[in-house]
Amino acid sequence: MLSGWKTAGHLACPHCAHDHDAYNLSHGGKTTWFDNHRKFLPANHPFRKNKNWFTKGKSVTESAPPVRTGEDVLQEIESLGLMKVTELGSDEHNARVIKAYNYEKTIISSEFDESNET
């Protein structure tokens, strides 16, 4: 899990991010990722081709998204432009960012003054 990452909605998987296969259930409207996990299996795995045990009539041919490193994730978070809660207008600005990117917290470790270390 990734601290600050919301686990609801279409962007709940931090590995897939915007490259997801989530869809809404027809009767309840809830988001589901059923079968999304099959793309992480090896290409020759029998579950990828099985059309009866999973989503009816569907086999999985696409590959998993590339693995993101911690540096990649940190760079993405920093590029979001989240504002500190003490800044004027941060509520509205951060609400737009949260809705678009599913990330709601900023890392505060970079805000510590390292010159005060003993």
3-class secondary structure for 72-113? HHHHHHHHCCCCCCCCCCHHHHHHHHHHHHCECCCCCHHHCC
Nearest to 60 by CA among 83, 80, 36: 36
Calpha distance 63→100 (Å, rounded): 25
Q: Are 15 and 65 in contact (CB under 8 A)?
A: yes
Q: Where are the domains of the chain?
A: 1-10+67-118, 20-64
What is the residue-level pLDDT of the chain in tens, covering all 118 positions? Answer: 566 666 676 676 777 766 777 777 788 878 777 777 788 889 899 998 888 888 767 888 888 878 878 788 778 777 777 777 777 877 787 777 776 666 665 544 444 444 445 4
Nearest to 38 by CA among 30, 51, 47, 27: 47
- pTM over cut 0.85: no
Calpha distance 11→55 (Å, rounded): 20
Phi, psi of 112 (to 5 degrees): -75, 145
